[in-house]
Copies of this chain bind each other. A is one copy, B any other.
């Protein structure tokens, strides 16, 4: 494994779903770290919905990937060469090296993983960005109180499955929305009080399904999807309800066009609701809170966690396309290399 492979953006998908052919593999010799840098070998690569925004030219919170550039993303792996003080070959790290089999990281951007008995891939999920997203967005913006109802969309996904379980830990009722009977069964298995399948449901049926699964209304809606599922949640929102805008995946293939649909300004007013956008990077300074809770919850079984592991670096583009169609079941990661010895 001495060649370096990476995926670059070949073509920007505009107003359509991404296809595997939108990415192109490039090969070359292994890069060499300069002073202050490490070379990391990828073990797992994370695939996440936010990446769809990065290959769009629409202005967002981060720079777009240009055709010809390496596709962005976070990975976990081991240091194989180091020119940085404090890092040695064999050290476990995570970092934003993109879709690559190996990547150079400045020491300041290499986040060390201290082995604690968890699979390495967990640091891309429940112990990584999606875990922090579920934790801080639900607790800081959603602020669920015991007995309240927390509704979450994409409920079996990387973030959603954790949102439901954290809601339960905090004494709230958790209700999930997901696509297909297996995902619904999984939500129930990990402790959601109710869950329903959005597939095949029109606007009215969605409103009814939320009403049936949330008989006391929705106090916190954790929105990963936008679209008509958002509308169904808003139609059932309680007085002083909180709406967390964490993702809008239903519209990710048409970011170039305005999102036209029902507006809920009147609901916001009548219900004195609060809606807030969330980005996990804003919570870096509060990381100790997450570190104090999540590994312990995971260890004692209060949090269960499901991953969808795709084998083989070359399948990354195909797995990414599937993610945007909801074909994954649980947090999607790609196994790129063997676990460290």
Smallest Cβ distance from A249 to chain B, in angstroms? 11
Give Cα distance in the complex from A223 to B282, angstroms: 26
Say whether A189 faces chain B, with CB atoms less than 8 Å apart: no
Say whether A265 faces chain B, with CB atoms less than 8 Å apart: yes
Smallest Cβ distance from A123 to chain B, in angstroms? 24
Say whether A286 faces chain B, with CB atoms less than 8 Å apart: no
Smallest Cβ distance from A277 to chain B, in angstroms? 4
A263/B226 in contact, CB under 8 A? yes
Chain-B contact segment, one of A33-41, A175-183, A254-262, A296-304: A254-262
Which residue, A226, A248, A263, has most C-beta atoms of chain B within 10 A? Answer: A263
- What band does the interface of chain A fall in when counting residues whose beta carbon is under 8 Å from B? 20 to 34
Say whether A113 faces chain B, with CB atoms less than 8 Å apart: no
Contact code string A260-286 (vs B, CB < 8 Å = 1, else 0): 111111111111111111110010000
Give Cα distance in the complex from A248 to B274, angstroms: 16
The 10 closest A-B pairs by CB, nearest first: A268-B277, A269-B277, A245-B268, A259-B263, A275-B275, A274-B276, A272-B277, A245-B269, A226-B265, A248-B265
Q: List 9 A-B contacts (CB under 8 A).
A: A226-B263, A230-B265, A245-B265, A248-B266, A251-B265, A255-B266, A260-B262, A267-B277, A273-B276
